[in-house]
Structure 1
Amino acid sequence: MVVSMAGFTANDAITKTMTGAMNAGQVMLVRGFFATALIALLAWHQGALRKPSHVLDRTLAVRTFCEVAATVSFLFALAHLPLANVSAVLQALPLAVTMGAALVFGETVGWRRWLAIAAGFAGVTIIVRPGFEGFSAYSLLALLCVVFCAVRDLATRKIPTDIPTLLVSTMTASAVALSGALLVVPLGGWTPMTGGEVGALACAAMLLLVGYQFIILAMRSGDISFIAPFRYTALLWAILLGYLVFGDVPDKAMIAGAAIVVGSGLYALYRERIVGRTRPAAESTAPAMAPEGM
């Protein structure tokens, strides 16, 4: 799980670097092309593409739309905010999924977990700091990304079990790449790329695949209630890479807010283990924690 989080976060760092050289649509298109090629090849090898009619499933369409919307929100937030800040806000995703499962699916959530959810979003408020000098409107895009990711995760649970996971991932990656192609011109047009920039985006796509593979290994070989808390190491990787690559030093408000969010998430996972449940918060420890297309 720790290696997986490192892979996903390194992908974020590369992507943030590239958003300074080209628009978000171009990043989505080029990186999405490589990601689609890699995942589609793996899906073909595993026989997941034998029934293309599965792509017509309505729930899968909802999931794909939310994934594209989450990716766009994430990239714009990532381009204008420190890597650690965006990562800290995204750590509220399991709490958002827990709340959504209670409100949409009627799942039982005790008062302790409701308090954890409230505390977690209070922590997000500290990170975002609405009304203060440190507030950035792009923080709202990070929050919007959490909303889309939560809806995506809830929709994922309703996808028919006969639809292979790799087919879902292939459709997601290709939809993100296509959406990027449609956004290139509205966002300012195509920027000529160097070989190094193409290679960097190809590397980012490969890191996504590494993240997927290691998280699948973790989920299949270990106790999910024990493994789930290690998803929060993504925040540690984000702080480290943010400092080494971009020179970002988290301020006290960001650290305090992130500590509250992580503490709330860990407590919610603990309560789920106490009552003998691993859903829904632990379920968002799957590869789709943050936008897959990113």
Structure 2
Amino acid sequence: MAFPDQNPLRGILLKVSSIFFFVGMSTCIKLAGAGIPPGQITFLRSAFAILPVVAYLAWRGELRQAIQTNNPLGHVKRGLIGVVSMGAGFYGLVQLPLPDAIAIGYAMPLIAVVFAAVFLKETVRLYRWTAVVIGLVGVLIISVPKLSLLGSEGLGSEAAVGAIAVLVSATLGAGAMLQVRQLVQEEKTPTIVLFFSVLAAFLSTLTWFFGWVTLSNEALMLLVLAGFFGGVGQILLTESYRFADVSTIAPFEYCSIIIGSCVAYWLFSEVPTSTTLIGAAIVVSAGIFIIFREHQLGLERRAARKASGPPT
């Protein structure tokens, strides 16, 4: 794919900057989220993400076209799946050490490969299947010590339920990725970003009926900041793909485990366990291999198209 403003270094810097904002978002939620319902967290994160997203689209002159859609039902489906995934992820984030939550969340692109093969009938060959299996083994290495607490401490184990919540979030997030793949065939990226932000804010307000809590000024400010960070992170991520291809940028996603571990140690005195480090290394290696394999296949497809010449 050709980019009118090809500048891989700028794309990488934007991607890494987005990770700092997303980790900042997670940190704010973790600082504020104890005892706050996930739906309430999701609402504030989504509602205040709309502000920088709208400002960004207006600055680029894309706001008018962003509010036009040919597939409202597709956006609703993506919104429903995404908002439940977000809520489950936020719950798990509050219950788990930050590096654990980040590392378990890496299961999402691995599960997306499985879903793409099953539901979209995409061809997944032995190399990628092997990488997916190895990556999921890494996720299990991280998760099993938490899940084993269900036997010793029962369903009240916050770490065990948190690990399950992040796994559910990753699974639903993979489903949302598939829905986005279908949306991009007829919808522009600004439309997908804006509609999800608005729908996530609206749908999460429905959780008010299940009971929200009165927030302290500090908690409210942290969650507003989380929303702002999330919106800016999304903008930076979107911008990064204007300057470099996915295979160049995607591996830098795994910087989040390093940044998250530093933040966790500094703010929460959380030190990753040996199982978390081993599991994360396995998952990251599998993820990078899949990205590399996708890049190689893309090069092969482009070479085949060039060799076949223009259609006659």
What residue number does 1:117 align with?
132
Match of 1:173 among 197, 200, 207: 197
Root-mean-square deviation over aligned CA pairs = 2.5
Q: Deviation per CA, 1:40-81: give whole Å up to 9, x if none.
A: 344455343457562752222211111111011111111111
Indicate whether 1:2 and 2:16 are aligned: yes
Work out whether residues 127 and 258 of structure 1, in 8 Å CA contact, stay in contact via their aligned partners in 2. Answer: yes
Matched, 1:242 2:264: yes
When residues 274 and 189 of structure 1 are mapped into structure 2, their CA distance, relative to the original with a 3 A threshold, is: closer
The reply to whether residue 26 of structure 1 matches residue 50 of structure 2 is no
Which protein has the bigger helix share? 2
| Paired residue secondary structure (1:129) | helix
Relative distance call for 1:52 and 1:155 in structure 2 (3 A) is same
Equivalent positions of 1:74-113 (< 5 A) are: 74-113=89-128
Which residue is 2:53 aligned to? Answer: 39
1:132 aligns with 2:148: yes
1:214 is aligned to 2:236: yes
Asked if the contact 1:224/1:278 (under 8 Å) is kept, the reply is: no
5+ residue gaps, structure 1: 280-294
Q: 1:149 corresponds to which residue? A: 173
Q: Which has the larger radius of gyration?
A: 2
For residues 33 and 55 of structure 1, the distance between their equivalents in structure 2, rounded to whole angstroms, comes to 24
* Structure 1 range deviating more: 205-214 or 12-21: 205-214
Counterpart selection for 1:274 from 271, 296, 307: 296
Give the corresponding residue for 2:183: 159
Instruction: State the TM-score, normalizing by the size of structure 1.
Output: 0.85
* In 2: Cα distance, 1:6 partner to 1:191 partner: 29
Give the TM-score of the pair, scaled to structure 2: 0.80
2:6: which partner in 1? none
| Equivalent residues of 2:142, 2:280 under 8 A apart | yes
Distance 2:70 2:37 in 1: 29
Amino acid at match of 1:146: A
Residues 20, 277 of structure 1: alpha-carbon distance in 2 compared, 3 angstrom cutoff = farther
- Mark the runs of 5 or more structure 2 residues left unpaired by the alignment: 1-14, 151-158, 302-312
**Amino acid in the other structure paired with 1:34:** F
Q: How many residues align?
A: 277
Q: Give the Cα separation in 2 of the matches to 1:55 and 1:17.
A: 40
Q: Give the whole-Å Cα distance in 2 for the aligned partners of 1:55 and 1:190.
A: 38
Cα distance in 2 for residues equivalent to 1:162 and 1:102? 21
Residues in 2 aligned to 1:85 and 1:4: alpha-carbon distance in whole angstroms: 20
Q: What do the CA deviations read for 1:164-196 (whole angstroms, capped 9, x no partner)? A: 32232222222222233222342x4331431x4
Q: 2:249 corresponds to which residue?
A: 227
